[in-house]
Chain A
Amino acid sequence: MENIIKWETELKPALTRALSEKKAVLIDFFNPG
């Protein structure tokens, strides 16, 4: 079990994983400031 969310940082790798793992992508647009 994970103890933090492991965020992708680029869309293309996230979509590649989504296709291979058959999952949807969740994008969190956030304010880093």
Chain B
Amino acid sequence: MDAVTYPEKKVIDFISDYLIPLRVAFDAQPMAKDFRINWTPTLVILDPEGKEHYRSVGFLPADELIPSLLLGLAKVHFELDQFPETLLNLDRLIGDFPKSIAAPEAIFLRGVTGYKSTHEAKPLKRAYEKLQAQYPSSEWAQKASPYRLL
């Protein structure tokens, strides 16, 4: 990540704007044990109280790292029931990085967030339809398949 991803301006700008970056050696104790680190790189996103909401293991180039971090930020907000902020991050991910690894999960989570914030089934069905149309072989299309019945 040092050689390829972190030097990119868009990565520097994104991390500087939206996150507090912390770098820890994989074997530094007690953090390595507390966070159950077994491989590198492992990226973990915590809320400001220190609770973990997302992690990613393995190398990511810039155009996968940023959507991965957007998904992580969305999950922080989702798990804190902050649905407008969740949708903001997911919509940015889906709009700017539609071909990213994270995009299908973002679409699924967008449907779930839409349901949780409105108690209407339409967002779930829309998520299913979008996943079927654009990412039919993804695991998230499979996970959304029951929503076709809504």
Contacts and interface: CB of A to CB of B under 8 A. Distances in A.
Interface of A: 1-11, 14-15, 17-19, 21-32
Contacts of A11: 22, 24, 31, 50
14 contacts: A2-B12, A2-B16, A4-B12, A9-B24, A15-B20, A15-B48, A15-B50, A23-B20, A24-B47, A26-B20, A27-B35, A27-B46, A28-B23, A31-B40
Given A11-B50, A15-B46, A26 B19 contact: yes
Interface of B: 1-2, 6-7, 9, 11-13, 15-16, 18-26, 31-32, 35, 37, 40-50, 53, 69, 72-73, 76
Contacts of B50: 11, 15, 25
A27 B48 contact: no
A21 B18 CA distance: 9
A5 B6 contact: yes
A25 to B, nearest CB: 4
A2 to B, nearest CB: 5
A4 B13 CA distance: 9
B44 to A, nearest CB: 4
A23 B22 contact: no
A33 to B, nearest CB: 9
